[in-house]
Chain A
Amino acid sequence: MNRRILVTALLAGTAALSACKKEPPASLPPEPQPTMTSTPGDNMSGGIAQPGSQAHFEQGVNGQNVIYFETDRYNVDSTDAAALQTQAQYLGQYPQVSITIEGHADERGTREYNLALGERRANAAKNYLTSLGVAASRISVVSYGKERPIALGSNEQAWAQNRRAVSVVVN
């Protein structure tokens, strides 16, 4: 939890710094303040993200930093494999980057089992990345079980979006 806020704060800090580098001519009216409220990735669209930032990572993997699972399953299917290969390529290109994989489950499961299931999903993604040559020491995992849904409905579509493993840059 702290880590995520920290990442957001770091990104916001990066955005502020990069905004400062642009030296506007004195005659022009003051620039609008950079917005700090948007999520990582959004505020970078069209701009140049800093290597090692979440935005740069998401750009580098074409938004494939999230993989999805079937109900109660944790296996990496071909779509997931393609996404993880893209992530592995990025991590190969930027060896200073470490990630945390957050494992999640949908709400249609008991709380404790879902914590274990989220952990299992995050580890499945981690194991796939290490099989592609990414050092295990660069990948940590954390399970949020069903505690952090991204889609808020109680229907198949929402549950499919919530059964996920999300790769997040940590430095």
Chain B
Amino acid sequence: MTKTFLALLLLSTAIPAAAQDLGQKPPETVPVETTEEEGLSGSVSFEGNLEDLGIAIPAFATDRNAPTAANSAGTAALGRELAQVVFNDLRNNGLFKPTGPGSLPVPSYPEITNPAWATWTSRGSEMLVKGYVRGGEDGRLTVGCYLYDVALQKELARAGWVVPPVDWRRAAHKCADLVYSRLSGESPFFDSRIAYIAETGPKDNRVKRLAIMDSDGANHRFITNGRATALTPRYSPDYRKLLYLSYVDGNPRIYSYDIGTGRQTLITQSRNPTFAPRWSPDGRWVLYSMAVNGNTDIYRVSAEGGASTRLTDTPGIDIGGSFSPDGRQIVFESDRSGGQQCYVMNADGSNQRRISFGGGRCATPEWSPRGDQIAFTNASTFNISVMSPSGGGVRTLTNGWQDEAPTWAPNGRVIQFFRTERNSGRTGLYQIDLTGKNERRLATPADGSDPAWGPILP
């Protein structure tokens, strides 16, 4: 019995590393086709706080109830689901004062472009979102989204998209993005995905799996099966690859997982351990940190592979790195001064200078996609904080027992991070607005850590 077990173990260690820990590959990302998009100019009638802005989101209408792979009850039922996703996006993020399809009349198809204003003025909503869904000959869905100012009885924005049935939720997220952008003046963020580490099991034997999901937690998938510890994922800007750390060969190494082929490769052919993978904004470069005889430095390598360039060379731990949106600078973490602090350098490693002098330890800096802020972990108090790229204007946003690893929403207005509970070691994904408002926990099937929010989907 023991011998058989041993033989099995020996056999299993002989299997190529890459094959051991990967589950079924997720579907590839298909770009969404936009049929029409129009944001009308002109002002909005509402002048109060945006969180008081009432928005009615009735069920999306359909021209005829056609069968669709997206909903077993057909396009009429799907229209209701679409409106519900738009409603949840806005409500769960504390945006505006939305009313969902559950408590609203269902508009007819002709009413989508010709609202019955009396119906909506009597309900007291300042804004109205209407949409339609049509099944096409090829099985694809056409979804339209209209935003109206009820007081002005005027259309504010409209857009339409053609999506395969499997991507129906993306059309709803795009509608939520249209509404949010038009009313707030901010860039969109709902049509995006998150990679993170799903955690289960006791504190001294946690199973850590690479997982992905939509920005609202839907379409959740595990990428690895949990046999090897997986940590710190990062989506490539085009969503075609995931970088992450895996112990699949027994040592911590960064792998590049290709979603199209379902295969993964080492980011660098070295026997040394590698940590902290990061993409450049254009997806052409990868930063990783490598320990050589206990000394960790940051390296840059082409996303296609090849020779690496070492960017830091001080004794101690230089780790992480996050590019400015223009790709010219990198903010990173180093303990060269004695404790963890944040530094900025040029993308070629020149001109390294410390920017954090706030008193606490500065760790895991992440440059905002807007460029104007850097989020980081205060590793003395374990709170998520932000500062300007020159290190000024430090603001603390969270106060959990241990909060770490901030990641930005595609528009730089929301930050996700993970929170660890004292004693139990249980973890959860959280997010908070840059303003410090609307902190909430994201629903995940298991505990979660190391969130990495990707850009707007192609």
Q: Which residues of A come within 8 Å of B, CB atoms?
A: 1-3, 5-6, 9-10, 12-13, 16, 36, 72, 74, 107-113, 115-117, 119-124, 127, 142-143, 145, 147-150, 152-154
Contact partner of B6 among A9, A142, A152, CB < 8 A? A9
- Asked, given contacts A116-B319, A147-B206, whether A111 binds B231 with beta carbons under 8 Å apart, the answer is yes
B405 to A111, Cβ gap below 8 A?
Answer: yes
- A120 engages B291 (CB within 8 Å): yes
Q: Are A6 and B2 CB-contacts (below 8 A) given A111-B404, A116-B275, A120-B317? A: no
A2 smallest CB distance to B (angstroms):
5
Residues of B within 8 A of A9 (CB): 2, 5-6, 9
Q: Is the CB of A153 within 8 A of B423?
A: yes
* Residue in A3, A107, A115 whose CB lies within 8 Å of B420: A107
Q: Is B320 an interface residue (CB 8 A)?
A: yes
Assembly CA distance A142 to B395 (angstroms): 37
Most chain B C-beta atoms within 10 Å of own C-beta, residue among A13, A36, A154: A154
Query: Chain B residues with Cβ under 8 A from A112's Cβ?
Result: 232, 275-276, 289, 319-320, 333, 364
A-B contact pairs, 9 of them (CB 8 A): A6-B9, A107-B420, A110-B377, A112-B364, A116-B291, A116-B319, A120-B295, A147-B231, A152-B425
Contact A120–B379 (Cβ < 8 Å): no
User: Complex Cα distance A115/B291, Å?
Assistant: 10
A113 near B363 with CB under 8 A, answer yes
Are A13 and B3 CB-contacts (below 8 A) given A110-B405, A149-B204, A152-B425?
Answer: yes
When the two chains form the complex, which single residue of A1, A10, A143 contacts B273, counting CB atoms closer than 8 Å?
Answer: A143
In the bound complex, how far is the Cα of B319 from the Cα of A120, in angstroms?
13
The chain B residues found within 8 Å of chain A, CB to CB, are: 2-3, 5-6, 9-10, 12-13, 203-204, 206, 208, 228-229, 231-232, 245, 247, 250-252, 273, 275-276, 289, 291, 293-296, 317, 319-320, 333, 335, 339-340, 363-364, 377, 379, 382, 401-402, 404-405, 420, 422-423, 425, 449-450
Q: Which of A16, A109, A153 has the most CB of B within 10 A?
A: A109
Task: Check A116 against B289 for contact (C-beta < 8 Å).
Answer: yes
Closest 8 CB pairs of A and B: A123-B294, A116-B296, A120-B294, A110-B363, A119-B291, A116-B317, A154-B422, A112-B276
Decide: A107 and B425 in contact? CB cutoff 8 A.
yes
Contacts of B276 in A (CB 8 A): 112
Would B405 and A5 count as touching, CB distance under 8 A?
Answer: no
* A167 → chain B closest CB, angstroms: 16
State A72–B335 Cα separation when bound (angstroms): 10
Contacts across chains A and B counted by CB atoms under 8 Å? 117
Q: A1-B229, A107-B402, A123-B293 are in contact. Are A113 and B6 (CB under 8 A)?
A: no
Given known pairs A2-B250, A143-B252, A154-B423, the reply for A119 and B6 (CB within 8 Å) is no
Q: Which residue of A has the minimal Cβ distance to B13?
A: A2
Contact A108 B319 (CB under 8 A): no
Would A16 and B2 count as touching, CB distance under 8 A?
yes
Q: How far is the CA of A117 from the CA of B335 in the complex (A)?
A: 10
Interface of B is mostly: mixed
Given A147-B206, A150-B204, A152-B204, A36–B291 Cβ distance below 8 Å?
A: no
Quick one: which of B3, B9, B450 has the most chain A CB within 10 A? B9
What's the Cα separation between A122 and B292 when bound, in Å?
Answer: 12
Residues of B within 8 A of A124 (CB): 294
CB-nearest residue of chain A to B382:
A108
A143 touches B420 (CB 8 A): no
Contact of B379 among A110, A115, A143 (CB under 8 A): A110
Q: How far is the CA of A153 from the CA of B363 in the complex (A)?
A: 24
Quick one: closest A residue to B296, CB to CB?
A: A116
Contact A1–B228 (Cβ < 8 Å): yes
When distances are taken between beta carbons in the complex, the residues of chain A under 8 Å from B9 are 2, 5-6, 9
Q: Is the CB of A142 within 8 A of B405?
A: no
A113/B450 in contact, CB under 8 A: no
Q: Tell me if B364 and A117 are in contact (CB < 8 A).
A: no
Other contacts beyond A111-B231, A120-B296: 6, CB < 8 A: A2-B12, A6-B9, A111-B405, A113-B335, A115-B252, A150-B204
CA distance A46 to B68 in the complex (A): 71
- The CA of A113 and the CA of B380, in the complex, are separated in Å by 13
Q: How far is the CA of A27 from the CA of B247 in the complex (A)?
A: 51
- Chain A residues near B377: list those with CB within 8 A: 110
By a CB distance below 8 angstroms, the chain A residues around B206 are 147
Distance of A108 Cα from B317 Cα, bound (Å): 17
A88 and B3 CA atoms in complex are apart in Å by: 32
Smallest distance from the beta carbon of A117 to chain B beta carbons, Å? Answer: 7
Residues of chain B lying within 8 A (CB to CB) of residue A5: 9
Bound together, the chains give a CA A106 to CA B231 distance in angstroms of: 17
**B377 to A, closest residue via Cβ:** A110
The reply to whether A113 and B5 form a contact with Cβ atoms under 8 Å apart is: no
Neighbouring A residues of B425 by C-beta, 8 Å: 107, 149, 152, 154
A53 smallest CB distance to B (angstroms): 14
